[in-house]
Every structure is written in C-alpha cells, then in structure tokens.
Chains A and B, each alone.
Chain A
Amino acid sequence: MFYTDDKKQYSVLNRRTFLLYLLKVSFFGIVGWRLYDIQIKDSKKYKTLSKNNQIDIEIIYPLRGKIYDINNKVLASNIKVFDVYLIPENTKDISKSLNELNQIIKIDFSDRRKIIELSKKVKKFEKIKVLENINWPQLEKIESNKLNIEGIFISQDYMRIYQFDNTVSHLIGYTNKPNREEVELPFIANMPNLEIGKDGIEKSFNPNLIGKSGQREIEVNSYGRVIREISRQDSQKGNDIQITIDLRIQQYALNLLNEHKAGSAVLMDINNGNILCMASTPSYNPNKIIQKPNKDYWNSILENELSPLTYRCIQGLYAPGSTFKMVVAIAGIVHGIIDTNTKHFCSGKIGLGDRLYHCWKNNGHGLMNVSDAIKESCDVFFYEISKKIGIDKIARVAEDFGLGKIYDVPLANQKKGIIPSRDWKKKKYDESWYPGETLISAIGQGFVLTNPLQLAVMTSIIASNGKNVKPNIIKQNKEIEFEKFEKYQNAIKIIKSSMFKVVNESKGTAYNSRSTSVPFAGKTGTSQVRRITVAERESEDFRKKELEWKKRDHALFVGYMPIENPRYAVSVVIEHGGSGASTAAPIAKEIFQFTKNLEI
C-alpha cells in the first residue's frame, strides 16, 4: 500500500479527531466538576467525617423463612437469642474485661486466650463474639453490670430451631456456617456470617429461604458509639416453604420404625404424588447439631455404624426382593409371554446350566398361575417366565414404573439404584450377561437395587392403573394430572387383583396383616443379604434360626389403600427385619389404619 494523498480522507480524519478531542475535554470537564463537588462544595461534610467519626456499614441479616408441614404446622423457625461481643478498641485491657465477664458467666481459659489472640489480628473496631446464645438470667446480670465491663456489647440474633427434633431431620436438614466454597454462592455473597442450609430442604431451598440482606449506613464516633444512622434499608425475610409431609403420619411412622434398628417408611398420595411421610431411622437431632458445643454429638453420629445421617428413603439401596415381581409379571403379560391361564409347576427349584435355583419354599408350590405366584410369592414361576421375557424387556418396564431413576424433586443426594440390563453390564463390567442372572433379577435379587421412594412410586403407578405418578415434596396449589401408560392397563388389572389376594386371601404372604376395617393390597418382599449355603438349605429350619442381626434378610412391603380407587401407596423397608410378611407388612397396616382414621 502506498501512501495515499486522499484529501477527502484526511479531512474526514481531521474532523473526527477534533470531535474526539472535544469529547475527551468534556469528559475531563465532568470529572473535574465532580471533584469540585466533593473537594470544594461538600468538603466541610467530609472534613467532619474524617476528623472524629467514621462511616460504617452494617449488614442487616435477613430472617430465614419458616418451613411448614401440609397442615401448616411449623417444622422449622427462628428464635431470638442473645450474643455477647467484645469491641477491642472500646476497652483498655481486653483480658480484664474478659475476667470481669467470667465472674458472671464462666468462659474457658483457652477460649479467653483465643479471643485475646483474635483481638490482635482483627481491626480494633471489629466485634468479636465472646458468648453465644445466653439465657435470660445471664443476660440480666450482664446488662446490669454493663457499665463496669469495658468494651462489652450485647446483640440480639436469631437461631434456627426445629420444633420436632429428629422427626423430619433427614428431610429438612439443618443450617450452619457456610464453608469456604459456599461463601462464594451468589445468594450469600455479602453475608459471610449467615447460616445457610447444609442438607435436605434447607439446602435445596437456600435461595428462597434466605431472603435479601439490608444495610445500615451509620456514623460511629471514635468510641464506637453510633452517633446517627445515615441510611437504612431493611432486610427482606426469606420465603416460607410448605412441604407435603403430614407431621402426624411422619411421627406415627417413625415411632413404629423406632422399634427396629434401621428402616424407612414412605407414604404417598397417589392422586397428586405428594409425599405424606418419609421417615427413616435412625435419625439425628438437628438442634443438637446447630447448638454449640456440638462436638460430642457430631462424633457420636459419625461413630454410629448405622449412620444416622443417611436418609434411607432416598439413599438406602436395597434389593427389592419379591416386590420386584409385579414388574416382571407386567413385562410378561405385556409382551404376550404369559396370560392368566399360563401355569408353571414349582417343585421348589429349577436347574439352569449346572446350577440350581431355589424357591423360598423348599418343597415347592405345585402348579402356579401368575395370580397365585404373586399371592404366594413363588420364585420358580418367575424364574420360568423371566427366561422367556429376557432381562432387557424387564428393565424397560421397571424404568417405566419409576425404578432406577433419580426424581426431579428437591431432595439432594438421591441414590439411583440399579436396574440391570445387557447394556448396563457391558458398560459397567465389560462382561456379557449370563442367563442365570436373569433368573436372579426376576426375584429382585442379584444386581437389582432400589430405594424405598422408588418402590413407593412403583406402587403408586400400579395402584393408579398406570398413571405416571411423579413424587412431590413441595405443596402445590394447582391440580396435578399425570399422563397414563395405556399399554399397561390390562396387565395392571391382573396384578392388582393378585396384590389384593396377597393380603386378603388365605395362603397370601401378608394374610396375617389383613385389616377388616381398612382393607388394603400389597406385596411382601424379603431380600437376602448373603448367600445361603447348601448345608443350611438342607437343614430344614434355617430360616427360623436366630441369626446374627447383620446376616438377617431385609424385610420389605409395598401396598396401596383403599382397594377401590386407591389413594395411598406405601413402602416399608426394615433392615435385617427377617421377612417382609412378619415385620414390614404389619407396619404398613398400622400406617394405613392411622392415615385412614385421620380422615384427610
């Protein structure tokens, strides 16, 4: 490119350059005028401010929203507490102030030393928390002696309180100081001391519950006394949240569960998916976690081998055992492999390859159709039909019925479980599927793992004649309509009549738990936690023997109520409870009866 002598270009450039220069001069003018405002016009105001006083900004923390149950019962709220602070610049001798305070309320020597250490590090007008959550008599004593203790400052604060201790602890969670990463969260950006939800609903709904901070611009003199408030913007309380849990059922169910070491119970409203009860034992007391000192309590929780922090309803994974048979039967009917007339003979075991597969009943059930096989929970019938259905078809139906899924509900850390298939095994172990594994899966053992909420959802879908029921934990004001799986209609009809027989006909596995006042239907499940040896199987009464707790089978029951137009679905899991019929079904019955009597 040669140097161009384009006159026109240069005249445009000259004009533009001039305009730019004008722009810049005017910007300098604006800045100069601003400085004139600050340094000349308002100089007096700023001079007084700089002389003795300083402007401080105090963040006004918002009050955390409350959590209610479905009947507006308060589950979590805030109570007023008082904290004692020390302002280093307001006392000549910090240790003297602390000693005087120590006369009223005992402060550990090591704590006192820590406070003195801290006071050397922070700005001298920064408040240091000395005592937290003091009681009324203590507060009165300190107030009356306030003038004698230099640098003392009492402030009112709020503390989270959970009205029902450990009843809904897993679901609601608890609050605590944010950790280093959480401080970066946008909703607490300017409130580093705010307690935030660490688990459960408290965590999932942090942005809603927290509210908005306010601020106070105050003028403080050199003694730390507030001279005047320059501006104030109040904080906005966080939103309240109403969950679908019915506290009465939750309490009742938890009491039943507490007779056992570990287990869970989930009750759902089939019509709208509302989870009315989701109890898990053992549980913990969130109040003991947030009230300091909490170290001993924490350690006792962490050392407990039953792990009370685990929310078994969504985090406990169990082989569903015979409760999985409904899914297999539906797969068989839908794919035309069985109908109500299809019969198989159960002699107590079948062979496949070089292995024997046993029915729970050693001497066999005899000739079984699908209805009998569910009612009496015959394993051999399901071994036979699963060979023809194949694992992949079973897996697809299981997923339609809500198993092996994480639900889109604000429940943190749901465990997905496993619904095995050929693809799954290839991906996970890089191995091909063995035919025997189909048999084991068909009775809900082997790879199959589900959580109790999934089992309740599965039962809801069956009970609702194939509506794709989605669980819900936050109370909704709008009507909820679930879409329907038309293809399963016929199969579900057969399965529901079989589930009726399980509880209400003799020979049904849950016949002993039948209720004449509140008839219900369901299915028991007993899932092995270990392999039964040949020797044990040969000794007739291996099931009756007192086994070590950890080696006992898990007891499961899923069911729905009432029989016609079902409204409630339940899943009960008792870890190492023995058998579903003896341990889980009676609990389901009690929950149904209690719920029915509430007449909600």
Chain B
Amino acid sequence: MLNKIQNLNYLLIFLIILISFIGAAGLYSAAGGSYNPWASRHLIRLVFFIFLAVILALINIKYIYKFAYVFFILSLLLLLSVELIGVFGKGATRWINLFGFSIQPSELIKITIILALARFYHDLKFNEIKRIKNLFFPILILFLPFALVVIQPDLGTALSIAMLGILILFASGIRIWKFVLGFFILILSIPLSLNYLQSYQKDRIFSFLNPEADALGRGYQLIQSKIALGSGGLTGKGFLEGSQAYLQYLPEKQTDFIFTLIGEEFGFIGTMFIILLFLLLISVCFYISIKSNHIFGRILSIGVGSNLFIYVIMNISMVSGLMPVVGIPLPLISYGGSAMLAIIISLGLVLNAELNGNLKKLHNA
C-alpha cells in the first residue's frame, strides 16, 4: 500500500491541481473578485475529488476490470432514468439527484463507456478483432448512450460520445477501411434520413448547423466571446481587469465561456499556457498507455486521454468560433460538479492503470 502511494504519478496529480487552480482564479474573477459563489466550491470539490481519485488508484485493477460492464450498465440506467423523469416528470432535464448530489449521468457515461470498451478489447483475441461480428458489441455500447443523449436533446454530448467511440475503436486496432466505409455510410444516409424527418425537426437540425441564424442567442454570445478574447491581446488586461465579462455581455461566463474570460485577462500567453498544460496532461495519459502491459490499461488510458482531448478541443473551438456553440465545459476550469467529478475520477483510473501496468492476469480477481 505504502509502496503504491509512493509510486503514484505525482506529475499527473500536480497537473490536475494546477489546472483546477487556474479554473478557481477564473471563477474568482468571474464573480467580480469573490470566492463566492463559484471559486470556493470549485476548490472544495477539487480536494474531495482528488481524494476519491487517489482511493480509486489504490484499488486492485482486477476489481475495476471485473465490474467494468456493471459500471456501464449502472450509468446507462441512470441516464435512462433521467430520460424517464424527463418524460413523466417536470419536463426535459439532464440532472438526477443521487444521495443529495445533482449529477449529470451523461458526463459519467463517457467514463463507463471507456471502461466497457477497454474490457471488451482486452477479452478479445487480436486476430478476432477483424471479424465484422465483433464490431456489434462495441457499437451497441456506443449507440445506446448516444441515442439517449440525442433525445435529451444534448447534441454537444452526443457528438463527443460519438467522437470518443471513434477514437477508441481506432486505437484498439480496427481496420482503417471500416472507418472509411462507416464514414461513407453516414454521408449516404444523411439525405435518406432527412426524408423521414418532420419539417420542424429539420429546422432544428439546420439551426444547429447554422447558429448565426439565431444571432440574438448563440451568435450574440460568440461575437462577445471573440471580442473578449481578441481584446486580451498578447498579455491580457490583467487579473480582475477584464471589462467585457463584468459588463454582463458574456453569458455563461462561469461555465462554457470561462476560457474567454481567462483569455481576456491573461491574453494569448495565458491561453497558450492552458493549452500546453492540457497537452501535457494528455501526453501523460498516452505515456501511461504505452507503458501498460495489458490491453485493458492501454485502452483505458487512451480513452481517458481522448475524452479530455475532446472536451478541450470542442470547448475552445466553440468559444473561438471554429464550431457551433453546443454547450461543452472546459475540464477542471469550468464551474460544474458532474464534469469535474467525471474528469478527476477518470484520471484516477489512469493512475490505477499505471500502478497496475505490470499485472499478468486480470480476470481471476
């Protein structure tokens, strides 16, 4: 046990804490120079979740392997119950109350998808991977949560689940031509499925693809976001000196648009620093993956790294106008418990995978 604690990857833990502190600083600024209501709770969550992650890292990986599908099914049921509450209860929702905490199951499901896929490819012999029938199960693992999230409707999360799935399937060695084929099937099925949609459903999709048409809402946010980023320049206006955010021009400044606020106050140097920190964090995940001696650990680490990557790229692309605003937070920096919990726990799993990288058998736990 003590040995394990000594061997924890402290670089990874340090990166989590550093990025979260930057987040807390941003939240402090977003609240007009106050710990309340966001920064203080962000830091309390950090302490609590890091503690959870370390405990998770010290568990024998065999248990995690053994219960991978169970975790997946449990989180799928949570997601489904959110859906049902939405249908029979107070209208659409993404939240569920669990032991007094409000949790977004759509954040947790991404982690359990990674676990389920990692176990599946661990169990599958390498020469079996190329069989078409062995694609069925992974695609089912991805499709069920994807479909549930689409009907919420949370297109941002649905998109990130799809991307996560593609990256993991790629990493696990599925032949390239299958991706190419899948891509073409997708392209060909778009006009076909459009025929079956009602006209109002089409309108929704098109307004999702073209948010400029909804200029007072999302388009307005985007313009304000770009002004905030751009006016930050190279070095930024200085901590607590950002003007745009204070003038209430920036909606959601503590969640999805926090990066903008940091960009305004710390400039290009600040945004580059954050991007490099994330790149470093993802690199650590990849390093642990390469080092691991079993497929479970490898896929797990790559999956967690890819998940982080998707969050970061989608969020920054969104606030800088590279893609439509779809509502994806910036990991460890945006305010919000569910995403933070999911990210830190998943990194705890990576810590675990590193500690147990040399294990020979997983199944007889």
**A residues bordering B, Cβ < 8 Å?**
1-4, 6, 8-9, 12-14, 16-17, 19-21, 24-25, 27-28, 30-32, 34-36, 38-40, 42-43, 45-47, 49-51, 54-55, 57, 59, 123, 185-187, 189-190, 207, 215, 217
Closest Cβ neighbor of A184 among chain B residues: B200
Beta-carbon contacts of B159-181 to A below 8 Å, as 1s and 0s? 00000000100111100000000
Most buried by B among A14, A55, A185: A55
| A31-B316 contact in complex given A3-B293, A50-B244, C-beta closer than 8 Å | yes
**Can you list 12 pairs linking A and B with CB atoms under 8 Å apart?**
A13-B171, A17-B289, A24-B305, A27-B309, A31-B316, A34-B316, A35-B271, A35-B272, A46-B229, A55-B224, A189-B214, A190-B217
Beta-carbon contacts of B195-233 to A below 8 Å, as 1s and 0s? 000011001100100000111110110011011111111
Instruction: Give CA–CA (A110, B203) in the complex, Å.
Output: 42
- Interface residue ranges of B306-332 to A (CB < 8 Å): 306, 309, 313, 316-317, 320, 322
Residue B125 interfacial (CB < 8 Å): yes
- Interface residue ranges of B69-108 to A (CB < 8 Å): none
Residue B337 interfacial (CB < 8 Å): no
Instruction: Give CA–CA (A2, B290) in the complex, Å.
Output: 19
CB pair B167–A20 under 8 Å, yes or no, is yes
Q: What are the residues of chain A within 8 A of B298 when measuring CB–CB?
A: 13, 17
Instruction: Give CA–CA (A25, B278) in the complex, Å.
Output: 11
Closest 8 CB pairs of A and B: A46-B230, A50-B231, A186-B203, A9-B126, A39-B268, A57-B215, A43-B233, A186-B200
Residue B294 interfacial (CB < 8 Å): yes
Q: What are the residues of chain A within 8 A of B172 when measuring CB–CB?
A: 13, 16
Closest Cβ neighbor of A34 among chain B residues: B320
Instruction: Give CA–CA (A42, B223) in the complex, Å.
Output: 13
Residue B275 interfacial (CB < 8 Å): yes
CB pair A46–B123 under 8 Å, yes or no, is no
CB pair B126–A39 under 8 Å, yes or no, is no
CB pair A57–B316 under 8 Å, yes or no, is no
Closest Cβ neighbor of B200 among chain A residues: A186
Of the 9-residue stretches B37-45, B135-143, B355-363, which lies at the interface with chain A? Answer: B355-363
Instruction: Give CA–CA (A4, B170) in the complex, Å.
Output: 20
Q: What are the residues of chain B within 8 A of A2 when measuring CB–CB?
A: 360-361, 363
Closest Cβ neighbor of B305 among chain A residues: A24
Closest Cβ neighbor of B169 among chain A residues: A16
Min CB gap B314→A, angstroms: 10
| A16-B171 contact in complex given A39-B263, A39-B268, C-beta closer than 8 Å | yes
| A38-B171 contact in complex given A31-B313, A31-B322, C-beta closer than 8 Å | no
Candidates B126, B230, B290; contact of A17 at CB < 8 Å:
B290
CB pair A3–B294 under 8 Å, yes or no, is yes
Instruction: Give CA–CA (A4, B123) in the complex, Å.
Output: 10
CB pair A35–B263 under 8 Å, yes or no, is yes
Instruction: Give CA–CA (A207, B200) in the complex, Å.
Output: 10
| A20-B302 contact in complex given A28-B275, A187-B203, A190-B213, C-beta closer than 8 Å | yes
Candidates B278, B306, B363; contact of A20 at CB < 8 Å:
B306
Q: What are the residues of chain A within 8 A of B244 when measuring CB–CB?
A: 50
| A-B contacts, CB under 8 A, total | 154
Instruction: Give CA–CA (A202, B249) in the complex, Å.
Output: 37
Q: What are the residues of chain B within 8 A of A47 when measuring CB–CB?
A: 230-231, 233
| A190-B317 contact in complex given A21-B286, A39-B234, A49-B227, C-beta closer than 8 Å | no
Please name 17 further chain A to chain B contacts, defined as beta carbons within 8 Å, in addition to the given A49-B227, A50-B227, A217-B215, sorted by A numbering.
A3-B293, A3-B359, A16-B171, A28-B279, A31-B320, A34-B316, A47-B231, A50-B230, A55-B224, A55-B227, A57-B216, A57-B220, A59-B215, A59-B216, A186-B207, A189-B203, A190-B214
Instruction: Give CA–CA (A190, B234) in the complex, Å.
Output: 36
Q: What are the residues of chain A within 8 A of B249 when measuring CB–CB?
A: 54
Min CB gap B299→A, angstroms: 9
CB pair A46–B126 under 8 Å, yes or no, is no
* Interface size, chain B (Cβ < 8 Å): 67
CB pair A39–B230 under 8 Å, yes or no, is yes
Closest Cβ neighbor of B282 among chain A residues: A24
Min CB gap B186→A, angstroms: 19
CB pair A46–B231 under 8 Å, yes or no, is yes
CB pair B216–A14 under 8 Å, yes or no, is no
Q: What are the residues of chain A within 8 A of B336 when measuring CB–CB?
A: none
CB pair B170–A32 under 8 Å, yes or no, is no
Q: What are the residues of chain A within 8 A of B293 when measuring CB–CB?
A: 3
Q: What are the residues of chain A within 8 A of B227 when measuring CB–CB?
A: 46, 49-50, 55
Q: What are the residues of chain B within 8 A of A32 when measuring CB–CB?
A: 272, 275
Closest Cβ neighbor of A191 among chain B residues: B216
Residue B60 interfacial (CB < 8 Å): no
Min CB gap A341→B, angstroms: 57
Instruction: Give CA–CA (A181, B248) in the complex, Å.
Output: 28
CB pair B243–A50 under 8 Å, yes or no, is yes
Instruction: Give CA–CA (A57, B215) in the complex, Å.
Output: 7
Instruction: Give CA–CA (A19, B174) in the complex, Å.
Output: 13
Min CB gap B286→A, angstroms: 5
Instruction: Give CA–CA (A8, B234) in the complex, Å.
Output: 48
Q: What are the residues of chain B within 8 A of A215 when measuring CB–CB?
A: 215
Instruction: Give CA–CA (A36, B272) in the complex, Å.
Output: 9
| A49-B215 contact in complex given A6-B126, A20-B306, A36-B268, C-beta closer than 8 Å | no
Instruction: Give CA–CA (A559, B231) in the complex, Å.
Output: 78
Q: What are the residues of chain A within 8 A of B145 when measuring CB–CB?
A: none
Instruction: Give CA–CA (A399, B226) in the complex, Å.
Output: 64
Instruction: Give CA–CA (A313, B232) in the complex, Å.
Output: 67
Residue B23 interfacial (CB < 8 Å): no
CB pair A35–B316 under 8 Å, yes or no, is yes
Q: What are the residues of chain B within 8 A of A30 when measuring CB–CB?
A: 322
Instruction: Give CA–CA (A27, B215) in the complex, Å.
Output: 27
CB pair B363–A35 under 8 Å, yes or no, is no
Residue B26 interfacial (CB < 8 Å): no
- Interface residue ranges of B41-77 to A (CB < 8 Å): none
Q: What are the residues of chain A within 8 A of B305 when measuring CB–CB?
A: 24
| A55-B229 contact in complex given A20-B306, A40-B234, A40-B268, C-beta closer than 8 Å | no
Q: What are the residues of chain A within 8 A of B173 when measuring CB–CB?
A: 9, 12-13, 16
CB pair A190–B215 under 8 Å, yes or no, is yes
Min CB gap B199→A, angstroms: 8
Q: What are the residues of chain B within 8 A of A35 when measuring CB–CB?
A: 229, 263, 268, 271-272, 275, 316, 320
Candidates A20, A36, A55; contact of B170 at CB < 8 Å:
A20
Residue B348 interfacial (CB < 8 Å): no
Most buried by B among A16, A36, A207: A16
CB pair B233–A39 under 8 Å, yes or no, is yes
Q: What are the residues of chain B within 8 A of A6 when measuring CB–CB?
A: 126
Q: What are the residues of chain A within 8 A of B283 when measuring CB–CB?
A: 21
Closest Cβ neighbor of B360 among chain A residues: A3
Instruction: Give CA–CA (A30, B323) in the complex, Å.
Output: 12
| A39-B271 contact in complex given A1-B122, A8-B126, A16-B170, C-beta closer than 8 Å | yes
Min CB gap B202→A, angstroms: 9
Min CB gap B171→A, angstroms: 5
CB pair B228–A50 under 8 Å, yes or no, is yes
Closest Cβ neighbor of A24 among chain B residues: B309
Candidates B125, B199, B306, B362; contact of A3 at CB < 8 Å:
B362
Closest Cβ neighbor of B249 among chain A residues: A54
Candidates B223, B226, B267; contact of A57 at CB < 8 Å:
B223
CB pair A27–B313 under 8 Å, yes or no, is yes
Instruction: Give CA–CA (A21, B172) in the complex, Å.
Output: 14
CB pair A43–B234 under 8 Å, yes or no, is yes
Q: What are the residues of chain A within 8 A of B309 when measuring CB–CB?
A: 24, 27
CB pair A190–B216 under 8 Å, yes or no, is yes
CB pair A38–B313 under 8 Å, yes or no, is no
Instruction: Give CA–CA (A213, B126) in the complex, Å.
Output: 56
Min CB gap A42→B, angstroms: 5
